[in-house]
Amino acid sequence: MGAEKDVYSRLRGSIVPMVTPFLEDGSFDEKSYRELIEWQIESGSHGISCAGTTGEPSSLTIEEREYLFEVTMDAVRGRVPVVLGTGSTNHAEALRLTKTAERLGADAALVIVPYYNRPSQEGLYRHFRAIADSVDIPIILYNIPGRTGVNLEPATMARLKRDCRNIIGVKESNKDFEQVTRVFQACGRDFLVYSGIELLCYPMLALGGAGHLSATANLMPREVARLYDLVQAGKWHEAIDLHFQLVDINEALFWETNPGPVKACLAMMGKIRPVVRPPLALPGEEMTAKLRGVLTSYGLI
Give the residue numbers annotated as catalytic, written as ranges. Answer: 142, 171
d(CA 54, CA 157): 24
CB 25 within 8 A of CB 186: no
Q: Which residues pair with residue 82 across a beta bridge?
A: 48
d(CA 265, CA 267): 5
By DSSP bridging, strand 82-85 and strand 108-112 are parallel
Q: Is 53 annotated as a binding residue?
A: no
Q: Which residues pair with residue 212 across a beta bridge?
A: 14, 195
Task: Return the exposure string of 211-232: e unless at least 16 CB atoms fall within 10 Å of the residue's CB, then b.
Answer: bbbbbbbbbbbebbbbbbbbbe
d(CA 209, CA 214): 14
d(CA 136, CA 134): 7
- Taking Cα atoms as reference points, which of 190, 197, 135, 136 lies closest to residue 158? 190
Alpha helices in the chain (DSSP H): 7-10, 30-42, 62-76, 91-104, 121-134, 145-148, 154-163, 178-187, 201-206, 221-232, 236-245, 247-252, 260-268, 285-297
Task: Show binding-site residues for pyruvate.
Answer: 54
Task: Show binding-site residues.
Answer: 54
